[in-house]
Amino acid sequence: MIMTRKPIVAGQFYAQDFAQLEKQIKDCFLSKLGPGELPIKKREKNILGTICPHAGYIYSGPCAAWAYKEIGESSFVDLYIILGPNHTGLGKTSTLLEDFQTPFGLVKVDKEFGSTLIKNSSLVESRIAHLNEHSIEVQLPFLQFVEKDYLSHLKFLPIVIGHDCNYKELATAIKKTIQKTRKKVRIIASSDFTHYGFGYGFVPFSTNIKENLTEFDNKAVEFIKKLDAEGFLDYVDKTGATICGALPIALLIETLKDEAKKVRVLQHYNSGDISGDYSNCVDYFSIIFY
């Protein structure tokens, strides 16, 4: 029996119905906080990777649309590696060699690449960390939307990153596996930035929240722009910044640091800009590497 990873946040983080989901994603692109237009058909760009938020589309979707517009205007790749944090704390750093279901249909996992990476690293295959983890799942409908002309060829590899991860070792293994398989790969690190407020147990300041939060996260982004994974993680450690995908981001940087020439922030805003409530809010960034 072939196992398929079923969606767990369809109907919550994003629409469950095909037509409603398509409209929801289009609205994210056309939103005043989004890029304002859908991806154009010319695929002349070539981005290496991106950092994308993973909250409900009503909040972080317009921010994510900026990165997916770049993806949709870039050359098609053999494989997307999607790195997500382990919100549940269950299981180890692991991949899952099962296709993922979304309301748009199946997204195929590259089992050959995944199996080779497992052989070349301490990465394991396990369902435990993936079953209740939303950070990878919420990227897939956007990816299917911008790659709709290539769906039969679209392949990805999900990796949930836990605190047990040696990101430098795994980055080396990913690079070796890319060289061995000779595949063109694009990496997506799924992460929201700082979660502020008593609801998140993080209140480093209590006035001018939006401005202070922007300044706080911009300091973290400076390390990302310098492709300094160690400096980024040190900043997160010293400040206690509640950046849920800090390790996926560090892994992305470490994997791309020898190849990436430039890092650019495409969009940044805060869930409070949508809800009007800054007492408990989350920062979102859309960042590309090329």
Domains and CATH numbers, the chain: 40-289 (3.40.830.10)
Quick one: pLDDT at residue 41?
82
Mean pLDDT of 214-221: 98
Asked if 164 and 89 touch (Cβ cutoff 8 Å), the reply is no
CA gyration radius for the chain? 18
What pTM did the predictor assign? Answer: 0.97
Of the pLDDT bands very low, low, confident and very high (cuts 50, 70, 90), residue 1 is: low
pLDDT of 66 reads 98
Phi and psi angles of residue 277, each rounded to the nearest 5 degrees, phi first: -115, 110
CA–CA separation, 245 and 192 (whole Å): 7
* pLDDT tens-place string over residues 98-133: 999 999 999 999 999 999 999 999 999 999 999 999
pLDDT tens-digit map of 249-277: 999 999 999 999 999 999 999 999 999 99
CA angle 240, 243, 249 (to 5 degrees): 120
Specify the pairing of strand 79-85 against strand 94-95: unpaired
